């Protein structure tokens, strides 16, 4: 039992290392090769945990080999476009000018439900509103609406306002975040001063957000929860 416990800890650390090595992309949408790696790694990792007659190296070596190959392959696909096409495929146009390409749907084995589901996520319920829809290499559908159905933008309305960053979190559960102070160009004294004006201390503040134009919002800690 102790062996299984130690093995589980080692393999857990190994997989964390492996996933970190693969980068953030792995944690979001999966490319076909990444999906394969994820399935294989999770499967291989369980083998030495369950079967103590298997040396740990039998788990570690294949995991590292798979991850390294995947990273090297993704590096190679950056250089060679053709290889990228082979490994990841290419985006396919599935709707053009409101018309579904049924042949492409058949090739991609997409059902009308798959397409409608994706359109609904863009708040589109009528295919004729779609100018262009592309099935990305991750399998996600990206949609470009026809001009007359697109939302009006501030630019089109000619609303002119200088660009501004959103508010920063300056106090998170009673702790001042120094990175936010640096970004906003303010100091702790200024923060303490505005809190004092409300009759509070830093440790009593649950959330403080400050926008670049120094507008702030304070949420006090719920004292009944402590």
| Binding site residues, other proteins, CB under 8 A | 21, 23, 52-58, 61, 64-65, 67-69, 71-72, 74-75
CB 88 within 8 A of CB 32: yes
Closest separation in Å from C-beta 19 to other proteins: 12
Question: Comparing C-alpha atoms, which of 202, 179, 204 is closest to residue 190?
Answer: 202
Measured on CA atoms in the order 118, 122, 128, 134, is the torsion positive or negative? Answer: negative
Task: Name the strand (E) or helix (H) holding 205.
Answer: strand 205-210
Question: Comparing C-alpha atoms, which of 197, 210, 108 is closest to residue 167?
Answer: 210
Nearer to other proteins, 32 or 55 (CB): 55
Nearer to other proteins, 30 or 177 (CB): 30
Nearer to other proteins, 71 or 100 (CB): 71
Closest separation in Å from C-beta 29 to other proteins: 19
CB 141 within 8 A of CB 105: no
Query: DSSP readout, 113-157?
Result: HHHHHHHHHTT---GGGEEEEEE-TTSPEEEEE-GGGSPPPTTTT
Nearer to other proteins, 57 or 157 (CB): 57
Closest separation in Å from C-beta 70 to other proteins: 8
Closest separation in Å from C-beta 63 to other proteins: 10
Closest separation in Å from C-beta 24 to other proteins: 11
Nearer to other proteins, 20 or 203 (CB): 20
| Alpha-helical regions (H) of the chain | 2-22, 32-50, 57-79, 81-88, 102-108, 112-121, 178-184, 188-197
């Amino acid at each position: 039992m102790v062996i299984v416990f130690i093995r589980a800890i080692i393999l857990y650390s190994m997989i964390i290392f492996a996933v970190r090595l693969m980068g953030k992309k792995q944690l979001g949408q999966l490319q076909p090769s990444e999906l394969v790696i994820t399935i294989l790694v999770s499967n291989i990792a369980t083998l030495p945990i369950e079967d103590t007659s298997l040396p740990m190296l039998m788990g570690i070596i294949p995991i590292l080999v798979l991850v390294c190959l995947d990273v090297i392959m993704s590096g190679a696909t950056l250089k060679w476009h053709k290889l990228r096409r082979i490994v990841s495929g290419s985006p396919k146009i599935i709707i053009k000018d409101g018309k579904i390409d049924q042949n492409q749907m058949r090739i991609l084995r997409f059902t009308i439900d798959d397409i409608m589901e994706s359109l609904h996520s863009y708040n589109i319920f009528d295919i004729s509103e779609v100018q262009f829809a592309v099935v990305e290499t991750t399998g996600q559908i990206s949609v470009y609406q026809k001009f007359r159905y697109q939302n009006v933008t501030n630019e089109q309305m000619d609303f002119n306002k200088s660009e501004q960053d959103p508010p920063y979190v300056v106090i998170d559960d009673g702790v001042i975040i120094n990175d936010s102070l640096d970004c906003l160009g303010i100091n702790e004294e200024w923060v303490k001063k505005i809190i004092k004006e409300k009759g509070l201390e830093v440790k009593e503040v649950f959330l403080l957000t400050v926008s670049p134009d120094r507008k702030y919002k304070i949420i006090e800690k719920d004292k009944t929860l402590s």
